[in-house]
Amino acid sequence: MGHYGWAFLGSPFPISFAVAILRYRLYDIGRLARRSITYAVVVVILGFVYASVTLALGSIVAADDEFTVATA
């Protein structure tokens, strides 16, 4: 492991990781994966909606208009 690996084990990080895993039940990996995938899908959908609205407003209103920039 080397010198630095042992220093990491002596730090408070492994203890805080263990507390977080036990406190928030992160050991249930299926539930954690399902939530991560759900959040990723929501972020992609919101990004697509934002990009679509921004491009639609940009094509409807003149590209040099300050209103388009402010709305985006």
Would you write out the chain's pLDDT as a tens digit for each of its 72 residues? 555 555 555 677 778 878 888 887 777 777 878 888 999 999 999 999 988 888 887 777 666 667 666 666
Distance (Å, whole) CA 68 – CA 50: 13
What integer pLDDT is reported at residue 43 of this predicted model?
96
47 near 39, Cβ under 8 Å?
Answer: no
Helix, strand, coil in percent for the chain, rounding step 5: 80, 0, 20
What integer pLDDT is reported at residue 42 of this predicted model?
97
**pTM summary value:** 0.51
